Amino acid sequence: MQEVLSMTYLWLKAGHIIFVIFWMAGLFIAPRQLVYMHSAAPGSPEEALWAERGATLRRVILTPALIVVWLLGLALMMTIGAWTMGWFHAKLLFVLLLSGYHGWVVATAKKMATGKRPVSEKKLRLYGEVPAVIVVVVVVLAIVKPF
């Protein structure tokens, strides 16, 4: 029985890591697409093209990956009893922040697709670095387990 549980854990972990990679790829490209859309004239064919590309990214990669990451992550949490571990609480906080960032990117993209520019291009470029910083913290917490 222990061998079955051990294999289940490894499959859950592998799936979790794979979908985190997909999610992060989407979170790295989405702000870049917003930068390109920002420079397109509101209502132009170029803006429409970037809006469609962003919608496709959200529909095909970002949202499905987010859902699978959360489902597999919660399954892993229950499998190893992570709720009792300090590092896990810190990791969960940063994953919640990253999920909030995901929501912000989606909301901003939808606003920009209607011709609004709620954030400057410079800030979009800066905000594009957020997922990289958060993922470094999350990986360190998950691998090193400092507390």
Identify the DSSP state of 105: H
pLDDT for 147: 93
- Annotated binding-site positions for heme: 16, 91
Neighbouring C-beta atoms of residue 132, cutoff 10 Å? 11
- Annotated binding-site positions: 16, 91
pLDDT for 45: 96
Neighbouring C-beta atoms of residue 47, cutoff 10 Å? 20
Which pair of tokens denotes residue 6? 């051990």
pLDDT for 5: 67
Q: List the end-to-end C-alpha distance of the chain, in Å, as a whole number.
A: 30
Sequential pLDDT tens for the chain (147 residues): 667 767 899 999 999 999 999 999 999 999 999 999 999 999 999 999 999 999 999 999 999 999 999 999 999 999 999 999 999 999 999 999 999 999 999 999 999 999 999 999 999 999 999 999 999 999 999 999 999
Cα four-point dihedral sign 24, 28, 30, 31: positive
pLDDT for 7: 85
- Tell me how many domains the chain contains: 1
DSSP per-residue letters across 49-103 = HHHHHHHHHIIIIIHHHHHHHHHHHHHHHHHHTGGG-HHHHHHHHHHHHHHHHHH
pLDDT for 1: 65
Domain residue limits at 76: 2-144
Inter-residue contact 32 to 130 (CB < 8 Å): no
Residue 111: partners with Cβ closer than 8 Å, 6 or more residues away = 118
pTM for the full predicted model: 0.93
